[in-house]
Structure 1
Amino acid sequence: MEVDESELKAAGAELLPEGRFGVRIHGWEIESRKRSILNSVALPLWEEKLQTSHLPEMVFGDSSLILLHINSGTKFHFNAFDALTGWKQEALPPVEVPAAAKWKFRCKPSQQVILDYDYTFTTPYCGSEKVEIIPDKCGTGKDLEEKSHSLHWEDCGEQIDLVALQSKDPILFYDEVVLYEDELADNGVSLLTVKVRVMPTSWFLLLRFWLRVDGVLMRLRDTRMYCSFRNAANPTILRESCWREATFQALSMKGLPSDSAAYSDPNLISKRLPVIMHKTQKLKLPGTL
């Protein structure tokens, strides 16, 4: 997107240095990195680390979205490896598909695939986080160890004000990063993306796993995060996770279309899918290091 430098200046923001794509605003560095898919050298290394012989068709292994709160060292980052680690740990049973016996791997066209694993690559991943130690700010020894603590999210009843996010505030920075994608042998789609929007008053991101197994199942797992700049000295992060899921049969029984072509855009059909899990958490960033 085109960035209006006058709007950046008015908001007290600035672009990251050349070679980096992102913005610095109210003590945050927000950066997106888009890279190519894993090559033939990196792919077996990932399979070894993840202890699997199955990965999505397209894994953007070096792509990521990073949000760093400079004073506290708190870093949120979103990447394919950690998301696939979540997939391996959850280890859902494979979705039963009538045509599954006919599916073939593109790399072994002469062999039929035995679908004894979660070939949808569904992940519970809601982002990665850590508190980075900044040596020139935190000292050494015992003091260093004490400051290398984990973040503590608390369940809360607050919700992200999505209506307020639809206001006409200028968008200082926006990007969407694809982490992995698979077309399920032309029988649907499995897609994990993260996108971020930075306004003069806040930042907002959406991590979305979208699954459609044609004629069988749809699954949507959204994680939204929001931070207001009102209290820049002691920021609070809201994180809302919502999982939705429905079979095509269940939707058809409600009088909704059963044709997969009617469900190409998750934004348009998300409200049609029943909620199976919803929670909101709050995080107060640790004190300045």
Structure 2
Amino acid sequence: MNEGGSHSQGGFAVTTRKLPILKAAPIEDMTQKLGIAPPEMIFGDNMARIEHHSGWSIEFNAFDALDRVDKTGESMLKVSYSKAWQQNRQKQFEDIKEVVKPFDWSYSTDYKGSTRTSAPRFQASTKQIPLELLKRPDPILFFDDVVLYEDELADNGIAMLSCKIRVMPERLLLLCRFFMRLDDVLFRIRDTRVYIEFKTGEVIREYTAREEKYDVVKQKLAVTREDVPEMMRDANKLQNVLPVIDGTLESLVVK
């Protein structure tokens, strides 16, 4: 049963789909196509999509996000249990020949959404998302939170990709967030924000990557009066602690 929804506003249609985790046959099919073993909880049918009546659209889904994961193993986090984890995954998928190769088993992705090749296309921009407009107490006409995948990294942390979208009378904001906590190793947050102003048809896409070593974050949090273990599970609180290591700003106008 789909628990997603849809909403139209200012010439844009927002659609979300939320279905159960994939069963064995679709997982095997996805593994063959991706060339890597998918995460433990793979919501392969889930998605969040924004479409404009002109034909322009952007969609966020698990397959395309996982297709951006490093499949060479070059960026694999070198920790003591990564080898054991890899062998365990190979046993799990031993019926699928020559598929499970070394890859970034933290499932880190720099996914910014899937767009159609038709114009208009995003161009590099310097225009920031107007946060002051998003802070206004405007009514929220539509909201949804869609999980695309999740993995507990062999009980040593979490990797999760999810999308939140909220529609106000004059604008909308989508946040696709990859959050990773690898205990005693690293924290990583990669955010893609899509902001749309209905009146002008302007679309701003902002990608920000944040990262910091586990011990450094722990030390930073220790001086606060907050519950440190709880904060380590909360990406919203951690985003102000992790330094930005990469980012892009793009925009386009649809008519």
Distance 1:91 1:241, change over 3 A: farther
Name 2:250's counterpart in structure 1: 281
Alignment of 1:168-247 (within 5 A): 168-231=137-200, 235-247=201-213
Does residue 46 of structure 2 align to residue 63 of structure 1? yes
Deviations 1:263-287 (A, max 9, x none): 11010011111110122111122x5
Letter of the structure 2 residue corresponding to residue 186 of structure 1: D
CA contact 2:15–2:50 (8 Å) conserved in 1: yes
Q: Distance in 1 between matches of 2:127 and 2:146?
A: 28
Does residue 109 of structure 2 align to residue 126 of structure 1? no
CA contact 2:3–2:17 (8 Å) conserved in 1: no
Correspondent of 1:46 among 15, 22, 30? 30
Correspondent of 1:270 among 234, 239, 244? 239
Q: Distance in 2 between matches of 1:282 and 1:275?
A: 20
Letter of the structure 2 residue corresponding to residue 220 of structure 1: I
Distance 1:248 1:257, change over 3 A: farther
> What is the TM-score normalised by the length of structure 2?
0.86
Alignment of 1:91-106 (within 5 A): 92-100=74-82, 103=85, 105=88
Distance 1:91 1:159, change over 3 A: farther
**Which SS does the other structure have where 1:215 is aligned?**
coil
Correspondent of 1:248 among 211, 214, 222? 214
Question: Which ranges of structure 1 fall in alignment gaps of 5 or more residues?
Answer: 1-17, 132-148
Moved more, 120-129 or 156-165: 156-165
CA contact 1:193–1:209 (8 Å) conserved in 2: yes
Letter of the structure 2 residue corresponding to residue 77 of structure 1: E
Deviations 1:77-109 (A, max 9, x none): 110010011114685521122344554748959
Shift of the alpha carbon at 1:186? 1.1
Q: Distance in 2 between matches of 1:157 and 1:88?
A: 29
Name 2:69's counterpart in structure 1: 87
Distance 1:240 1:21, change over 3 A: same
CA contact 2:71–2:101 (8 Å) conserved in 1: no
> What is the TM-score normalised by the length of structure 1?
0.76
Q: Distance in 2 between matches of 1:151 and 1:227?
A: 14
Name 1:15's counterpart in structure 2: none
CA contact 1:90–1:123 (8 Å) conserved in 2: no
Deviations 1:186-232 (A, max 9, x none): 1000000011000001111101000000111011000111111222x
CA contact 1:214–1:260 (8 Å) conserved in 2: no
Q: Distance in 2 between matches of 1:185 and 1:214?
A: 11
Q: Distance in 1 between matches of 2:151 and 2:128?
A: 32
Name 1:139's counterpart in structure 2: none
Alignment length, in residue pairs? 243
Question: Which ranges of structure 2 fall in alignment gaps of 5 or more residues?
Answer: 95-99
Q: What RMSD over aligned residues (CA atoms) do the two structures have, in Å?
A: 2.7
Letter of the structure 2 residue corresponding to residue 31 of structure 1: T
Larger Rg: 1
**Which SS does the other structure have where 1:189 is aligned?**
strand
